[in-house]
């Protein structure tokens, strides 16, 4: 980093951190026939939209303004969701960078007319970028993990970030090598 860039960054005031609980949220929705696929279970895309909605709400709350989905990874479907299930999508910020944040999401389902405990049916990790009115990246407050579980999620998020960046770097290097060899894609 240049001295000029370093000096410019030190001129930017620190943003106070926010605890994990400040933006944590749960979105609940009853699944209907219009949500189903040909097998009679709920479309994965319907669940993914609920996941993105809940994660977006959390990212906007944490960053104090608009945030856009930059990536979704590790979307896992554990059990089918059926018509009549009450789906709960629980989301929280796990990690923050300068302008981005990872949001972890758990998806639970329970029968709307039974008093049995909900079952985890899915999970996902999404990365959101905070943006200003012009769509340019803006800084986000650091997340302050509160519990041992929050601290574990923060550490795991750092590992996922390292893997995402390494994967992106490896793909770019491969493309550059292929282009240098004259191989067209």
Q: Identify whether the C-beta of residue 140 lies closer than 8 Å to the C-beta of residue 118.
A: no
Residue 52 exposed, middle or buried by CB count within 10 Å (0-12, 13-18, 19+): buried
**42: which 2 tokens?**
């709920």
Residue 110 exposed, middle or buried by CB count within 10 Å (0-12, 13-18, 19+): middle
Q: Identify whether the C-beta of residue 141 lies closer than 8 Å to the C-beta of residue 18.
A: yes
User: Which pLDDT band, with edges at 50, 70 and 90, does 14 fall under?
Assistant: confident
Structure confidence at residue 39 (pLDDT):
92
Beta bridge partners of 30: 86
| pLDDT of 51 above 80 | yes
> CA-CA distance, 96 to 152, in Å (whole number)?
14
Per-residue 3-state assignment (H helix, E strand, C coil) for the chain? CCHHHHHHHHCCCCCCCEEHHHCCEEEEEECCHHHECCCCEECHHHHHHHHHHHHHHHHHHHHCCCEEEEEEEEEEECCCCECCEEEEEEEEEEEECCCEEEEEEEEEEEECCCCCCCEEEEEEEEEEEEECCCCCECCCCCEECCCHHHHHHHHHHHHHHHHHHHHHHHHHHHHHHHHHCCCCC
> CA-CA distance, 24 to 94, in Å (whole number)?
10
**pTM attached to this predicted model:** 0.88
pLDDT tens digits along 81-139: 999 999 999 999 999 999 999 999 999 999 988 888 999 999 999 999 999 999 999 99
| pLDDT of 11 above 70 | no
Structure confidence at residue 67 (pLDDT):
98
Structure confidence at residue 112 (pLDDT):
85
């Amino acid at each position: 980093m240049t001295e000029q860039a370093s000096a410019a960054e030190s001129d930017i005031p620190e943003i106070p951190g926010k605890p994990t609980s400040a933006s944590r949220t749960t979105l609940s929705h009853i699944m209907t026939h219009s949500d189903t696929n040909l097998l009679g279970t709920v479309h994965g895309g319907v669940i993914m939209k609920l996941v993105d909605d809940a994660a977006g709400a959390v990212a906007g709350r944490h960053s104090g303004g608009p945030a856009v989905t930059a990536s979704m990874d590790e979307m896992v479907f554990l059990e089918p969701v059926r018509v009549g299930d009450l789906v709960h999508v629980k989301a929280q910020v796990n990690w923050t960078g300068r302008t981005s944040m990872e949001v972890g999401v758990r998806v639970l389902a329970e029968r709307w007319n039974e008093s049995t405990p909900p079952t985890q049916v899915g999970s996902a990790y999404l990365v959101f970028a905070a943006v200003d009115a012009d769509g340019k990246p803006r800084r986000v407050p650091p997340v302050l993990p509160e519990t041992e579980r929050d601290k574990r999620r923060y550490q795991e998020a750092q590992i996922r970030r390292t893997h995402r960046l390494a994967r992106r770097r490896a793909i770019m290097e491969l493309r550059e090598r292929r282009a240098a060899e004259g191989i067209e894609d």
